[in-house]
Amino acid sequence: MESTPKLIKLLFFISVLWVSSLAHETPLFPKKSHPTNSGYLPISSTTSSAMFFAFYEAQKPDFNLSQTPLLVWLQGGPGCSSLLANFFELGPWRLNPKQIGSNNTDLEPNPGAWNRKFGLLFLDNPIGAGFSIASSPAEIPRNQYTVAKHLIAALTSFISSNPLYKSRPLYITGESYAGKYVPALGYYILQQGSDLNLKGVAIGNGLTHPVTQVATHAASAYYSGLINEKQRTQLEEIQAQAVKLTQEGKWKQATDARNRILHYLENSTGLATLYDFRRKVAYETEIIGNFLNKEQVKKALGVHKSMVWVECSEVVGDALHEDVMKSVMFMVEELVKKSKVLLYQGQFDLRDGVVSVEAWVKEMNWEGLESFLMAERKVWQVDGKLAGYVQKWGSLSQVVVSGAGHLVPADQAVNSGAMIEDWVLEKGLFQDEIKSISTSNVRVFR
């Protein structure tokens, strides 16, 4: 009988420890890491289709909120979710693969968050991507006009939700296949005389003028030491097929030919990923799905628990299959005349990298092109260390980001944050040419 009180005491002690551990357990999605606002934006009054958004207000704005720049981020794919960038690249909180399975939260503050000084709006675009809702597959866009139409409707709804948003300078940003979304949205904002206060667009490792870009893979891989002369010749033959099909307007076949080029590169190089030819393993983005499909995360974001998040929607990809090889370079030509344009590339991207982008830039119809091509390419430093190279003339800037692949902010968080801040605010190497004569190329990120 004497052992009974001891057993009760032991059970009580264990229960206290258990309750205490629960009280101190770090939640999966802490309140401090939640967006300022998130949910759904309508794309039309005649449909239940809606675009998911997550908005983060500026952490340390330099201006009153009514004048604080607003960045919009669009992911590529086609069909990939912008929440990939949110939690893996440039949002204020990022998932750390090394923390998965530990007792700590999977989220860590991002030292290079793009909302340090600016508002940051992530949109799951097109409808059907990420947490966005397409009421039927027929409503998913098949071209950039419809993509832009939906985005303008969603943006207009977001801006009208708060009087402070209306006057804020607007910058459209994105990467990869958003090299088409970003120019399309900016172009149609200008064409329609929208009230949206567009000031510029930024494209990271973008697919913008495919007929030229598709012809650069062989040379890029060859001069990187990844294929030999024989393989280069074979790859150039497939590239020529893709170019010919594009010029003939055979869009499905042209896209298929481009896919054969990428598959050839994957098979012949044996790389873990074409997105960064240094990597021994691909970007570990599967952690995003593990996180976003948790019921408590969906609830916090305003998403119904029945929704299933996938990184890239095959349905959306199929819908835009014939759009892949169509060019939007003419849209960039309009934007560089009426706003400002930033093109940035990670140094080690083998899909839509430096060579690919520089090839189509040389074909632009813009009165400032010759001056841009002759402009000095300057060494760019952040905190006294090499960050990359900047070439600028007038309204066009190109940045090569050192130590980065396709997902630049994931690879170089602080440097990408410094880049976007200086470009928007026209500081450092992004100042007007006259102002920048006496300016150092060293940027201190505070």
Pairwise CA distance, residues 119 & 99, whole Å: 28
Pairwise CA distance, residues 275 & 282, whole Å: 8
Pairwise CA distance, residues 249 & 180, whole Å: 18
- Residue labelled with tokens 């690249």: 89
What are the angstrom distances between the C-alpha of 407 and each of 40, 285, 347, 417?
Answer: 26, 11, 11, 13
Burial of 213 (0-12, 13-18, 19+ CB in 10 A): buried
pLDDT at 106: 80
Domains of the chain: 31-212+281-443 (3.40.50.1820)
Q: pLDDT of the chain along its 446 residues, tens only? A: 444 444 333 333 333 333 333 333 457 899 999 999 999 999 988 889 999 999 999 999 999 999 999 999 999 999 999 999 999 999 999 998 765 554 445 899 999 999 999 999 999 999 999 999 999 999 999 999 999 999 999 999 999 999 989 999 999 999 999 999 999 999 999 998 888 999 999 999 999 999 999 999 999 999 999 999 999 999 999 999 999 999 999 999 999 999 999 999 999 999 999 999 999 999 999 999 999 999 999 999 999 999 999 999 999 999 999 999 999 999 999 999 999 999 999 999 999 999 999 999 999 999 999 999 999 999 999 999 999 999 999 999 999 999 999 999 999 999 999 999 999 999 999 997 655 444 455 566 56
Q: Has 15 been annotated as catalytic? A: no
Neighbours of 356 (CB within 10 A): 28
- Half-sphere exposure of 312 toward its Cβ, with a 13 Å CA cutoff? 15
pLDDT at 96: 82
Q: Has 383 been annotated as catalytic? A: no
Q: Which pTM does this prediction carry?
A: 0.90
Q: Which is it for the CA torsion 70, 173, 251, 273, positive or negative?
A: negative
Catalytic residue among 339, 402, 406, 411: 406
What are the angstrom distances between the C-alpha of 429 and each of 340, 426, 445?
Answer: 15, 8, 14
pLDDT at 283: 92
**In the chain, what are the helix, strand and coil shares in percent, each to the nearest 5?**
45, 15, 40
Phi, psi of 180 (to 5 degrees): -105, -40
Beta strands in 43-177 (DSSP E): 50-56, 70-74, 93-95, 107-109, 119-123, 170-175
pLDDT at 389: 98
Q: Has 167 been annotated as catalytic? A: no
- Half-sphere exposure of 170 toward its Cβ, with a 13 Å CA cutoff? 22
Torsion-angle region of 39 (φ positive above 0: left; ψ -120 to 50: alpha; else: beta): left
Beta strands in 304-393 (DSSP E): 340-346, 377-382, 385-393
Pairwise CA distance, residues 336 & 341, whole Å: 6
Catalytic residue among 176, 313, 327, 397: 176
pLDDT at 99: 55
Pairwise CA distance, residues 11 & 286, whole Å: 40
pLDDT at 446: 60
Catalytic residue among 349, 352, 411, 422: 349
Q: Which is it for the CA torsion 398, 404, 405, 411, positive or negative?
A: negative
Burial of 393 (0-12, 13-18, 19+ CB in 10 A): middle
